[in-house]
Amino acid sequence: MARVSWVIWAALLVLQNASHTWTSRARNSDKIRENAVASIASNGVWIVSLTLAINKTAEGTSIWIVGPFYVVFTVLGSVWMHWLLLRREHRSVAGRYVR
């Protein structure tokens, strides 16, 4: 069960920063509804992820494990979402997929 919680947390961290990146890009557009949905996703995932981070440290996991784990998966989520959104934006402008 302990390994499953790390896998779940990793997925949540990816989603957390993916939705944060989505929020940031939506905020800089005229898409109010998209910004609202992205903000709800970002903040909703963040609170669950924060709870898991607190639980990991309360269980005695070193901050030297929790910290790098957090950074790696949040960066992964941010870069992944940025890539997806750039593809979508380019496709909408150029009418084709970016390879």
Higher-confidence position of 90 and 53: 53
pLDDT for the residue numbered 39: 92
- Model-level pTM? 0.78
- 6 belongs to a structural domain: yes
For residue range 3-61, list pLDDT tens digits in order.
788 999 999 999 999 999 999 888 888 889 989 999 999 999 999 999 989 989 998 99
pLDDT for the residue numbered 26: 87
pLDDT at residue 69 is higher than 90: yes
Domain that holds residue 74: 2-94
- 99 belongs to a structural domain: no
- 15 belongs to a structural domain: yes
Residues with Cβ < 8 Å from 55, sequence gap 6 or more?
A: 5
